[in-house]
Amino acid sequence: MKFDLFPKGKPMILFLGINALSSTRLHITVYDPQTERVYSQRRLRLSGKGVIRLKLPITPEQLRVKVLSEHLKGAAPCFVLEAIKVTPDTVCPVELTEQDGDFIAFAKWFAVEVERLSAGKKGTIYQSNGFTILLLDTITENGTELSTPARIARQSGVIEISKKAIQDYTVPMLIVMLLHEYAHKYKNPEYGKDMQNELTADLIACHIALNLGFDLREVRNCFQAVFAKKDTDLNRRRMGAIDEFVDLFAQNESKRCKTRSHAS
């Protein structure tokens, strides 16, 4: 099942009322039909009626929503889409510096355009307001390909991105990953933390992304994708702290945040 929306670049929250006629696993993808960039992706099991909430703080002119059952290919649908509702997204109080705003704007542009950007073995440089991203085919060290999707040079602040490693990242996932790298150099020291501290960089990235309206599931998906490639005690502890932070945000979101006016 597919249908189109025309947000015209305005942030929004999409609610889908779905009635699963039998227990089924659904795959929901929200993407730009022109560029194929994915803005939200959700896999879930549903039995009976449910309402799926998808936060979309970044949108193109047009979005296509695809809802599929992963169990029955080519068979009769085992679910009914009963309701589609679009509302303005929420805005939450978050203190951002001018530098933060400049980087967020750069990260949004990069995440939307990355499929159309050149990479290469030696990389291609993209810059904005003093920030630099080096987009590479893959990230290597001493001739060996690394599994990491991104890293930041602590001195220069250049962020290296592996185009191969991020090929399945949604737009929000890529922005969260870039915020993590940014936090290492620019935010960890601001909070009196060691520049290499991974946990504080994780939580700072989560804090900024969630308060900007990013979907909780997309934030989690970003870190799960990274940690899946390197299952360590440290990464399990980091994921646990991220889950706790996201859950706490979700519990307090309705008290802290308000509906955004599209005029703002």
pLDDT in tens, 30-41: 999 999 999 999
**The pLDDT value given to residue 263:** 47
Provide the domain limits for residue 172. 98-253
**Is there a single domain that holds both residue 203 and residue 129?**
yes
Which of 232, 228, 226, 121 shows the shortest CA–CA distance to 174? 226
Q: Calculate ∠ Cα 128-39-124, nearest 5°.
A: 35
What Cα–Cα distance (Å) separates residue 240 from each residue in 69, 124, 196, 243?
30, 35, 19, 5
Task: Look at the chain and count its residues.
Answer: 264
**Is there a single domain that holds both residue 82 and residue 108?**
no
Q: Which of 64, 89, 114 finishes a domain?
A: 89
**Is there a single domain that holds both residue 11 and residue 106?**
no
**The pLDDT value given to residue 264:** 44
**What tokens does 226 get?**
């990274």
Q: Which of 66, 89, 112 finishes a domain?
A: 89
Assign 3-state DSSP to the chain and report helix, strand, coil percentages, each to 5: 35, 30, 35
Residue 260 lies in a domain: no
Residue 84's DSSP bridge partners are 16
**Is there a single domain that holds both residue 14 and residue 127?**
no
**Is there a single domain that holds both residue 129 and residue 240?**
yes
Q: What is the mean pLDDT of each run of 10 residues along the chain (264 residues)?
A: 95 95 91 97 93 96 93 67 94 93 98 96 96 97 91 95 96 98 96 94 97 96 92 93 96 88 52
Number of domains, the chain: 2
Q: What is the rounded distance in angstroms from the CA atom of residue 202 to the CA atom of residue 108?
A: 18
**The pLDDT value given to residue 75:** 55
Which of 241, 158, 154, 238 shows the shortest CA–CA distance to 198? 238
**What tokens does 63 get?**
């979005």
**The pLDDT value given to residue 261:** 66
**What tokens does 200 get?**
């504080």
**What tokens does 131 get?**
């920030």
Is residue 84 within 8 Å of residue 6, measured between CB atoms? no
**Is there a single domain that holds both residue 237 and residue 112?**
yes
Predicted TM-score (pTM) of the model is 0.93
**Is there a single domain that holds both residue 104 and residue 232?**
yes
**The pLDDT value given to residue 72:** 55
